[in-house]
Chain A
Amino acid sequence: MTQTSSLHTLARRAGAATPPVVAARVRGLSDRAVAWLFITPTMLLLLAINVFPLIWTIRLSFTNYRANRPNAPLRWVGLENYTSILSDPDVWHAMQTTAHFVVWSITLQVLLGFGLALLINRQFRGHGLWTTVILLPMMLSPAVVGNFWTFLFQPQTGLFNHVVAFVSGRDPSSFQMIGDVTLAPWAIVLVDTWMWTPYVMLICLAGLRSIPDDLYEAAEVDRAGPFRRFWSITLPMVLPFLMLAVLFRGIENFKMFDMVNLLTSGGPGSTTEVASITLKREAFEKWRTGYSSAFAVILFVTVFGLANIYVKVLNGVKQR
Chain B
Amino acid sequence: MSFLKINNLSVDYKMRKETVYAAKNVNIEVNKGEILGLVGESGSGKSTVGNAIINLIDEPGKVSSGSVILGDLNIHENSESIVKYRGNKIGLIFQDPQTSLNPILTVGEQLIETIQTHLKLSKEDAKNKSINLLKEVGIKDAEKRFDDYPHQFSGGMRQRVVISLALCCEPELLIADEPTTALDVSIQSQILDLIKKLTKERNLAVILITHDMGVIAETANRVAVMKNGNLVEIGETKKILTTPQQSYTKSLVSSVPPTNKKISRFVIVEKENKKNNIKILNRWTKKEISNQDLVQVKNLNKSFDDNFFTENSKNSVLAVDNVSFEIKEGESFGLVGESGSGKSTIAKMIVNLFRPSLGDIFFDKTCITKIKHRSELMKFRKQIQMIFQDPYSSLNGRLKVKDIIAEPITLHNPSISNSDLNNYVNDLLDSVEMTQKSADRYPHEFSGGQRQRISIARALATQPRLLVCDEPTSALDVSIQAQILNLLKDLQEQLNLTILFISHDLPVVRQMCDRIGVLKDGKLCEVSNTEDLFLKPSHEYTKELLHLMPKIESIYN
Partners in one complex: no
- Interface residues of chain B, those whose CB is within 8 Å of chain A, are none
**A contact set with B: CB distance below 8 Å:** none
